[in-house]
């Protein structure tokens, strides 16, 4: 997280502040996640499905098009297919 900010010319003190701030909010989110997770199995399933949907959205909207821009071959599509198959196999075991 700090490397792109440093490369962008941001001051080191501001970078440290933002990284620590990010860590604090992550800790607070983990605390509330632990509290919500103790409510019921249905709540845990809902939270995990929302997180999975967010990751699929990010991968589909950002990472796959960027991979296609960097490399015009078929390896990125093949990697996506293999990843989906591995995920399906892991879920069925």
3-state SS, residue 64:
helix
**Predicted TM-score of the model (pTM):** 0.50
Higher pLDDT, 54 or 1: 54
**Which residue has tokens 């941001």?**
10
The pLDDT of residue 72:
77
Condensed to tens digits (0 to 9), the pLDDT of residues 1-36 reads 788 888 888 899 999 999 998 889 888 988 988 887
Alpha carbons within 13 A on the beta-carbon side of 20: 6
């Amino acid at each position: 997280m700090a490397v792109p900010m440093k490369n962008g010319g941001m001051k080191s003190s501001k970078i440290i502040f933002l990284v620590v701030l990010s860590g604090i909010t992550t800790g607070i989110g983990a605390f509330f996640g632990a509290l919500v997770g103790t409510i019921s199995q249905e709540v845990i399933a809902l939270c995990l499905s929302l997180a999975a949907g967010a990751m699929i959205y990010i991968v589909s909207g950002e990472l796959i098009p960027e991979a296609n821009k960097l490399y015009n071959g078929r390896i990125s599509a093949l990697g996506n297919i293999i990843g989906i198959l591995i995920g399906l196999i892991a879920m069925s075991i």
